Structures are given as C-alpha cells and as structure tokens.
Amino acid sequence: MSLNLIVLPTLTPAQETLLGMQQLNHEALRDLASRTKRAFDLFWRNDRATPQEIATALGTNAAAVFNAHAATVQFLLARDPTLLSPEDYTPPLPYQWNPDGSMTLL
C-alpha cells in the first residue's frame, strides 16, 4: 500500500516550459547583478589601482562607462530590488564630471 501525503499536480508541457523560462530569466538577472557588483568593486574597491587612477585611464570615456553602469543598475532594480543593495552601486567617494566626459574624484 502506497501512502501519498502530497500529490503534486502534473504540469503541461507549456507550463513546464514556462517554469524553465522563468528560472533561466532569474538566473540571468542574478548573474548580471553579480557582474555589475564586480564592475563597481573593480573601480571603487580595487587593491591594485586607486579610483582616480582608473578614472584617468578611462579618460573621456568615463561618463559613458558610468552611464552604462547606472542603466544596468536601474534595469536590475526595476526587475528585482533585492538583487542589489545601495552599497553595490553607491560611490563611496564624491566626484565631478568634467566637460569632456572625464571625471575627477574630490
């Protein structure tokens, strides 16, 4: 005699596909969040170069790089605000943009 305490519903192929798609989407968002945090840390918490040295190396591309990062952060937060914490995207030091797109840390 079989004792089934919980009977799980049988999913249709379409429902199984939907669950797989949702899982892949969530994994992709988690991966993007992880890479976004890593990029932030490479700039602000790098033990091999200071933020100003990295900003200088970016030159006039700094604004474009920061804008792309900010757009990625907004995309992630709009989909799942638990993927990133403020310390994952809030610069720890003040900075200013120069007219040519470069940045100077203050």
Query: For the segment 59-98, what is each residue's pLDDT rounded down to a tens digit?
Result: 999 999 999 999 999 999 999 999 999 999 999 999 999 9
Give the separation between CA 62 and CA 86, rounded to whole angstroms: 21
Structural domain containing residue 32: 16-105
How does pLDDT run across 26-54, given as a tens digit for each residue?
999 999 999 999 999 999 999 999 999 99
Those residues with Cβ within 8 angstroms of residue 56's Cβ, 6 or more apart along the chain or in another chain: 102
pLDDT score of 2: 64
Q: Both tokens of residue 12?
A: 């249709």
SS3 content of the chain, % helix, strand, coil (to 5): 60, 5, 35
Q: Both tokens of residue 102?
A: 């470069």
- Domains held by the chain: number: 1
More confident residue, 99 or 7: 99
Domain assignment present for residue 27? The answer is: yes
DSSP state of 100: T
Give the separation between CA 67 and CA 60, rounded to whole angstroms: 13
pLDDT score of 6: 84
Domain assignment present for residue 8? The answer is: no
